[in-house]
């Protein structure tokens, strides 16, 4: 089991940054040391799994617990979920922001923490299909990646993933690379294509082009045929040019 960062920039809030780093430290050093040795067959007898959950009374804000594994999938009936063994989980700033009630009035922070107490951390994952419902396009053993609904979590050994939120993992991507993509990828596609209708021939000014969402948005924009002016620091200029930026502006110097 491993964790991979979906965004290259930490949250601006000092508290959020601290919690995000603790999430990385605690989960990567103590969670699921034997996961890689688990069998990948569908006949798996273990009914419990380990998971990283939010804990408002714990000094770290999170803790590792043992909880029931997602229910088995009935292979003889149609269903909307598949059971997956998690190989890698992606960590995003939102995983820490939710814990501290980021963007909420200070008085509401305790309510935010209480609302997510005990819920599994994380959204993004990549893993192996274990069980599927009847008529499903996936089969046991398939490598997939996707994102989980709020509160369901991905920092665990198994997930019951909605079919409309997973896809087959491209063979060109490792599990860690695939697990870092879903949230930032969906954010980019939704913002540029679905919400704002970016099409071929249009020009896009992309601020923060080398960031976690920015560098994916740049590739999405180029894929639809747009011309991109990328705003970033000089040290990242070559990076965004390799991703296809037509023009690069150093925000420390201006145009």
Work out how many domains the chain is built from and give that number: 2
What pLDDT was estimated at residue 102? 56
In a domain, 40, yes or no: yes
What pLDDT was estimated at residue 34? 34
In a domain, 255, yes or no: no
**Structural domain that includes position 64:** 2-180
In a domain, 171, yes or no: yes
Residue 239's domain is classified under what CATH number? 3.40.50.720
What pLDDT was estimated at residue 33? 40
What pLDDT was estimated at residue 43? 45
What pLDDT was estimated at residue 115? 73
Regions of the chain short of the pLDDT cut 50: 1-13, 15-17, 26-45
In a domain, 70, yes or no: yes
Question: In terms of domains, do 168 and 195 share one?
Answer: no
Which residue among 160, 180, 200 closes a domain? 180
What pLDDT was estimated at residue 24? 52
Tell me the Ramachandran region of residue 208: left when phi exceeds 0, alpha when psi lies from -120 to 50, beta otherwise. Answer: left
Task: From 182, 226, 172, 181, select the one nearest 204 (Cα to Cα).
Answer: 226
Rounded Cα–Cα distance for residues 55 and 69 (Å): 19
Which residue among 163, 180, 197 closes a domain? 180
Residue 22's domain is classified under what CATH number? 3.90.180.10
Question: In terms of domains, do 165 and 191 share one?
Answer: no
Cβ neighbours of residue 54 closer than 8 Å, sequence gap 6 or more: 61, 62, 98, 99, 113, 116, 117, 118, 119, 121
Question: In terms of domains, do 22 and 148 share one?
Answer: yes
Question: In terms of domains, do 123 and 93 share one?
Answer: yes
In a domain, 73, yes or no: yes
Question: In terms of domains, do 33 and 127 share one?
Answer: yes
The three-state (H, E, C) secondary structure of the chain, written as one string: CEEEECCCCCCCCHHHHHHHHHHHHHHHHHCCCCHHHCCCCCCCCCCEEEEEEECCCCCCCEEEEEEECCCCCCCCCCCCEEEEEEEEEEECHHHHHHHHCCCCCHHHHHHHHHHHCCCECCCEEEEEEEECCCCCCCCCCCEEEEECCCCCCCCECEEEEEHHHEEECCCCCCHHHHHCCHHHHHHHHHHHHHCCCCCCCCEEEEECCCCCCHHHHHHHHHHCCCEEEEEECHHHHHHHHHCCCCEEEECCCCC
In a domain, 196, yes or no: yes
Question: In terms of domains, do 124 and 226 share one?
Answer: no
Question: In terms of domains, do 147 and 243 share one?
Answer: no
Question: In terms of domains, do 121 and 7 share one?
Answer: yes
In a domain, 159, yes or no: yes
What pLDDT was estimated at residue 47? 84
């Amino acid at each position: 089991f491993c964790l991979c960062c979906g965004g290259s920039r930490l949250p601006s809030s000092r508290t959020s940054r601290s919690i995000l780093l603790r999430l990385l430290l605690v989960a990567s050093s103590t969670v699921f040391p034997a996961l890689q040795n688990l069998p990948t067959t569908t006949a798996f007898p273990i009914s419990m799994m380990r998971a990283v959950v939010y804990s408002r009374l714990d000094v770290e804000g999170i803790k590792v617990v043992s909880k029931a594994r997602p229910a088995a999938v009935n292979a003889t009936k149609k269903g909307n979920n598949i059971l997956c063994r998690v190989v890698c989980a992606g960590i995003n700033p939102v995983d820490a922001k939710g814990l501290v009630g980021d963007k909420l009035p200070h008085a509401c922070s305790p309510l935010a923490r209480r609302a997510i107490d005990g819920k599994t951390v994380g959204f993004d994952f990549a893993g192996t299909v274990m069980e599927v419902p009847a008529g499903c396009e996936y089969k046991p053993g398939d490598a997939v990646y996707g994102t989980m609904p709020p509160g369901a979590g991905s920092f665990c050994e198994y997930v019951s993933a909605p079919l409309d939120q997973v896809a087959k993992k491209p063979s060109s991507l490792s599990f860690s690379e695939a697990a870092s993509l879903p949230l930032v990828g969906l954010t980019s596609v939704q913002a540029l294509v679905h919400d704002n209708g970016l099409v071929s021939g249009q020009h896009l000014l992309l601020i923060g082009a080398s960031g976690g969402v920015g560098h994916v948005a740049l590739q999405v924009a180029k894929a639809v045929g747009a011309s991109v002016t990328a705003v970033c620091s000089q040290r990242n200029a070559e990076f965004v040019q390799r991703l296809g930026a037509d023009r690069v502006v150093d925000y420390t110097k201006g145009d």
